[in-house]
Amino acid sequence: MTTSTEALAGAYCVVTGATSGIGKEIARELAAAGAHVLFICRDRARGEATLVELHRESPSAAVRMLVADLSALQDVRAVAEEVYRQLPRLDVLINNAGTHDLRPEVSVDGFDRMIATNHLGPFLLTNLLADLLERAAPSRIVMVASESHRSVLRMDPRTFAEPGRYGPIGSVAVYARSKLLNVLVTQEIARRWTSRGIVANAFCPGLVSTGLVRNIPMGARLFSLAERTPLVRSARQAAEHALRLAGDPRFAGRNGGFYSTTPGAVLLPPSPHRFRTGLQHAVWERSEELVGLS
Ligand SMILES: NC(=O)c1ccc[n+]([C@@H]2O[C@H](COP(=O)([O-])OP(=O)(O)OC[C@H]3O[C@@H](n4cnc5c(N)ncnc54)[C@H](OP(=O)(O)O)[C@@H]3O)[C@@H](O)[C@H]2O)c1
């Protein structure tokens, strides 16, 4: 049986946020599998260090990098144009980059920066790369989302990106909202782009000890304890899930799914918002307006 890594040999893949954590492991695995990897990072020096590391490990690998801050729409437009210049087609897009800002910050375009990084930037990038994905059809989009999307009680499609105070439960609620947006967009893509030969699936990598969780107060301490238990995954285990969705022939027909990797999570009730097609549609239309696509 063909494995996901065999299926990805020679595939043209874009991965965002490959300078650390899960994204770096995804890029590493893709490079080792013989894929053409183009990763997008926001920090040139960290990107170049990653490039050196990946070339050292897989000397014959075709790995390149582009620099863009995904929270800045102008950067996203510029990097998408560069992707068209560099790749003949796009078999796989892995929207992995993400942040958990502890305090409210405003993006250069005037949005909540965490929502801009985790949702608006990837949304614009995905839309701009759709024609390139179509050239490779059947092609796949993988969204690195999170179980935290289940905790969102209210999602207002008119106001989700507005900057403001983070309220009593702080940044966690905004992070969860950004991840629900990832899930809703995945489902909307499944409806809109099936006829173009593009499928999209989202997954939660589980609890992974990366830069993202280490920034949360007490996060580093709790994780150093939890790391000794099966509760916490390695970035490599998380990357394997992404690769399965990206290349495993057994996932070829799957579209619009959200995959849990946390033991027992499938027993939890799904988010009440997940299957609201009206909400998926409204979020898509509002996101188009905000990023200037409509
Ligand atoms: N860790 C977990 O337990 C967990 C659980 C559920 C979901 N996730 C999701 O997994 C994904 C990867 O996170 P991680 O845990 O691997 O964290 P990480 O180690 O902090 O990696 C995040 C990556 O995203 C990049 N990034 C952040 N903001 C960016 C921006 N504005 N523009 C471009 N790149 C940006 C970072 O670049 P720099 O190197 O420059 O910072 C880094 O490469 C995220 O989407 C996160 O929400 C993680």
Ligand 1 midpoint to CA 97 (Å)? 4
Region 163-185 average pLDDT: 92
Helix axes 21-32, 235-247, angle to 10 degrees: 50
pLDDT of residue 168: 67
Q: Determine how many CB atoms are found less than 10 A away from the CB of residue 131.
A: 12
- Residue 54 near residue 28, CB atoms below 8 Å: yes
Most informative mutation of 19, 22, 260 for ligand 1 (most atoms within 8 A of CB)? 22
The continuous run of DSSP H or E covering 64 comes out as strand 62-67
Ligand 1 midpoint to CA 201 (Å)? 18
Tell me the pLDDT of the chain averaged across its residues. Answer: 93
pLDDT, tens digit, for every residue of 240-292? 999 999 999 999 989 999 999 887 888 888 898 999 999 999 999 999 999 99
Ligand 1 midpoint to CA 98 (Å)? 4
Residue 217: is its pLDDT beyond 70? no
Give the torsion sign (CA, 256, 262, 263, 268): negative
pLDDT of residue 4: 78
219 — pLDDT class (breaks 50, 70, 90): low
How does DSSP classify residue 253?
Answer: T
Pairing type for strands 62-67 and 139-144 reads unpaired
Helix axes 73-86, 121-128, angle to 10 degrees: 30
Q: Which has more confidence, 225 or 77?
A: 77
Region 208-226 average pLDDT: 72
Q: Report residue 70 as tokens.
A: 């995904």
How far apart CA 112 and CA 241 sit, in angstroms, is 29
What dotted CATH number matches 4-206+235-291? 3.40.50.720
pLDDT of residue 170: 85
Region 190-212 average pLDDT: 93
Q: pTM of the prediction?
A: 0.96
Ligand 1 midpoint to CA 20 (Å)? 7
How far apart CA 3 and CA 141 sit, in angstroms, is 18
Residue 138: is its pLDDT beyond 90? yes
- CB proximity list for 275: less than 8 A, separation 6 or greater: none
Most informative mutation of 53, 99, 262 for ligand 1 (most atoms within 8 A of CB)? 99
* Residue labelled with tokens 């990107």: 47
Ligand 1 midpoint to CA 214 (Å)? 11
For residue 16, the ligand 1 atom closest to its alpha carbon is 34
Question: What is the number of residues in the chain?
Answer: 294
pLDDT, tens digit, for every residue of 22-78? 999 999 999 999 999 999 999 999 999 999 999 999 999 999 999 999 999 999 999
Residue 11: is its pLDDT beyond 70? yes
> In the structure, which protein residues have their CB atom closer than 6 angstroms to any atom of ligand 1?
17, 19-23, 41-43, 46, 69-71, 96-99, 117, 144, 146, 204-205, 207-208, 210-213
The pLDDT > 90 percentage for the chain reads: 81
pLDDT, tens digit, for every residue of 122-134? 999 999 999 999 9
12 is catalytic: no
Name which of 286, 290, 270 is nearest 278 in CA terms.
286
Render the burial of 19-35: b for 16+ CB within 10 Å, e for the rest: bbbbbbbbbbbbbebbb
Most informative mutation of 14, 20, 258 for ligand 1 (most atoms within 8 A of CB)? 20
Catalytically annotated residue among 12, 166, 175, 259:
175
How far apart CA 152 and CA 109 sit, in angstroms, is 25
